[in-house]
Structure formats: structure tokens, C-alpha cells
Amino acid sequence: MATALAESVVTISREAAATTPAAQARRPVRVAHLIHTMAHGGVETALINWFRTFTASRVDAHLICFANPDATERPFVDAATRAGLVVHTIPWGRRKPVWQAARATAAFLREHDIDLLHCHNTYANLVGLCASRLAAVKTLTTIYVWSGYGLKRRMLQWVDQRLLAGFDQITAHCEAALTATVDRGVRRDDIRLLTCGFADRVAQLTAAERAAGRRAMGVCDGDTVLIKVARFWPEKRHDVLLHAFKHLLANAPQVQLWIPGVGPEEARVRELAESLGVASRCRFLGFRTDLPELLAMADIQVHTSDEEGVPLAILSGMAAARPIVSTRVGGIAEVIRSGESGILLERRRPEPFADAVLDLMRDPPRRHRLGAAARQFIDTEYSLAAATARVERLYEEMVPQ
């Protein structure tokens, strides 16, 4: 309640401040966001939501995206375009042409008289710092998660850690990411927390619409539908979920698993589903633009990641009032109170995970209570308006007028 009240005060203060003579005389801070993306996930959606919510009188925001050689940025660019954003692209390739990309970025910064460059991801950090030296703009970066997966990821994060000192401001996506950044030698007082907030679409289906949608998806009467919303990346641990699902099927054969998403691990996960003998009860749905409808039609959301910030997939499930069974990693415990608005478990333990899901399947009233509490948290304590106001205030602090 205190958090909700504080956010309400922030929002009211923001609106009042915008009407003062000082606010009216101040020109908007011109900010360019530079992102390197390989898919359209939570970070990308959070960025789009910020853009859609910025106050035009406070922030003049521009979006720059790397043009990858295999066009893996297209789902994000298409989603941004659908949201009404103009996306400027800069060249990128397998040889990592840092200076070419930096010169193109710097040209954009000079052309649009940008005050501040906000970077997302290692390559964006590297290119952004180089471009800022050419165009003389202030810089900040957002840390989403520190990952230990894969040699390439560890090398990139080694680079990231050494780039941090070059930024005028470091921000973190959640408390877990902030603490991990402090563990890497950055003073806590030098990091600002910038949560993503939540404002994605929530599907409101009638009972008839939900039933018809489930039938169209091949769901039989009496089936329980589980859904995992995540890209196919190693740390998302679809393998742990499939092992849990096998255990679950042995005790509750009338259960289906929906797995929307894309990514480099998809083929391996599909092969694992076949080898475990669970493929006939799994539906691999690919990239979807109707996730709110899928969440509304599912019964329980499952999330087995090893590493996370605050995943938008979890926030979306909470907003849809789904009961959620998840691993207790990253910033998830910052939004789910285990036993009250979801169930949090230790990672890499398939059988206890399956048992927790089975208990929920057998207890519909508890599913409803958990889902309702999750929805209330999103409505009252994770406002996008308050989150965006924090971003705007930081920009104005960094570019005083």
C-alpha cells in the first residue's frame, strides 16, 4: 500500500510539475536509445513501453537499432514500428565493425542534436561509448542481468564490466542486477534503479471465447494447460521444464504444455521433447503476437530459468491473473511473494517443480487466489507511469538546463 501511495504521489507530482513555468520553459531532453537485439523479448518490450509513455514535453526520444547480418532484429523493429516508433538502423556484421557503427551513430547524434545516449547490451555499450567521443554527448547504460552462460557470454560481460567506468551514469533493471553490479566493483551510490514497469496489453476473454480458443488450440475438456513464455536461450532452461513435465505427465496425463518463443536452442529442446516421450503433449508455437490471449487461455504459467532480471513474461502472467510456478532467481522475488502471489522454487529441481504444479492443478481455489494477488500487485505496485517518471527525472538530472 505504501508503495502504491508513493507511486501515486510521484505521478501526481509529475503532472503538477509539468504545468509550472519552469517546466514549460524547459525544452525536452533529446535522448537516443541504442540497442543491439537478437530477438524480441522482455528488454525490447520494456523499451517500447517507455517510448510510448514518455512525456513529450520532457523527453524527445529516438531509437537506434543494429541491423544484424541475418536480420534477427526484425521482430523488435516490426513491433516498434507497430507501436508508432520510428526506428533508425546502423550497420552491423559478423566481423563486428565497431568504428563503422560508431561513426554512423555519431552522425545521427549530431544530426538530431542529441543530449544523451542510453545504451542497452554489450555491443551497444561499446559502440555507444565510441560514438559519444565523436559526438560529445553524455552516456548511460542499463544492466539487466549478469549471466554465466557460455564462453561468448562471459567474454562479453568481461568487456561490459570494463566499459562501465566510461559511462556518465549506470542504471540497473532490478535490485538483483543492481546488487550484482555492486559485486563487480561499482559503488551502490553510483547506480540508479530503473524498473521497466508494466503496461502491456491484457486480454479480456469471455468464458465462451476462452473455451472456443482452447478448442481451436486442440485442448480437450478436462485438460490443464501450462504455458512457458521465454526465448530459447540456455539460461531459460527449457530442458528442466521438459524433465519436470515428464514427471508431471506420469501423475496427470491430461495436461498440455504450450511453449511460444524463438531462439537458437529451439531445435535442441524439440529433440529433447521427442527423446523424453513428451512431444505429443507439447506445442511449440514459435514467435507470437497474441501472447495476452495465450496467457488468458492457459491455466498455469511455468518458468524454469536459471538467470533473470524481472522478466516481462512473468509480469504479463501476473497481469493476466495466472497462477505462476517459477524458479527463485534474479529479480523474480521482487515481484512475486511466494505462497501469496505465486510459488517460487529452487532452480534445476524438476521433480519438486512438477509436484508444485500438480498441487496447483488439484486446487483450483488456490490457483484463483494466487492469480488474483498477482494481478493486484501489477495494478497497484508496478505502474509503468511511475517507472517512466523515474527515467525522465534521471534524464533531466543528467542534462540540466
- Rounded to whole angstroms, the Cα distance separating 383 from 198 reads 6
Give me the pLDDT at residue 380, please: 85
Same-domain status, 16 and 88: yes
Looking at residue 61, its pLDDT comes to 98
User: What is the CB-side half-sphere exposure of residue 198 using CA atoms within 13 A?
Assistant: 23
360 assigned to some structural domain? yes
Are 112 and 232 part of one and the same domain? no
65 in any annotated domain: yes
Number of domains in the chain: 2
Q: Considering the domain boundaries, does residue 371 fall inside one?
A: yes
Query: Do 363 and 242 belong together in one domain?
Result: yes
Low-confidence ranges of the chain (pLDDT < 70): 1-25
- Do 176 and 211 lie in a common domain? no
Whether residue 20 is found in the same domain as residue 159: yes
Task: Decide if 392 is inside a domain.
Answer: yes
Task: Please report whether residue 230 resides in a domain.
Answer: yes
Q: Return the residue matching grid coordinates 497474441.
A: 290
> Over the Cα atoms of the chain, what is R_g?
22
Structural domain contains residue 23? yes
Nearest to 50 by CA among 39, 41, 59: 59
Are residues 255 and 280 in contact, defined by beta-carbon separation less than 8 angstroms? no
The predicted pLDDT at position 119 comes to: 98
Residues 114 and 258 in one domain: no
Of 271, 272, 275, 244, the C-alpha closest to 257 is 244
Residues 309 and 334 in one domain: yes
Q: By the 8 A CB rule, do 320 and 304 touch? A: no
202 is a domain residue: no
User: Residue 287: helix, strand or coil by DSSP?
Assistant: coil
The answer to whether residues 364 and 387 belong to one domain is no
What residues pair up with 255 in beta bridges, in sequence order?
224
CA distances from 189 to 170, 179, 193, 294 (A): 10, 11, 10, 41
Are 141 and 265 in a shared domain? no
Both 146 and 184 in one domain: the answer is: yes
The answer on 134 and 220 residing in a single domain is: no
- Grid cell locating 209: 471465447
Q: If DSSP codes are grouped into helix, strand and coil, which group holds residue 114?
A: coil
Residue 12: the pLDDT is: 35
Q: Which residues contact 44 (CB under 8 A, 6 or more apart)?
A: 35, 37, 76, 79, 80
In a domain, 217, yes or no: yes
* Domain carrying residue 387: 2-197+383-398
Cα gap 109→113, rounded to integer Å:
6
Q: In whole angstroms, what is the distance from residue 272 CA to residue 254 CA? A: 20
> 365 CB contacts (<8 Å, ≥6 apart)?
none
Cell of 144: 539487466
The pLDDT of residue 293: 97
For residue 134, the model assigns a pLDDT of 97
Contact present, 248 and 255 (Cβ < 8 Å): yes
What's 78's domain CATH number? Answer: 3.40.50.2000
Residue 79 cell numbers, joined: 513491433
pLDDT at residue 199, as a whole number: 73
| Same domain flag for 110 and 235 | no
- The x, y and z cell numbers of residue 170, run together, are 549506470
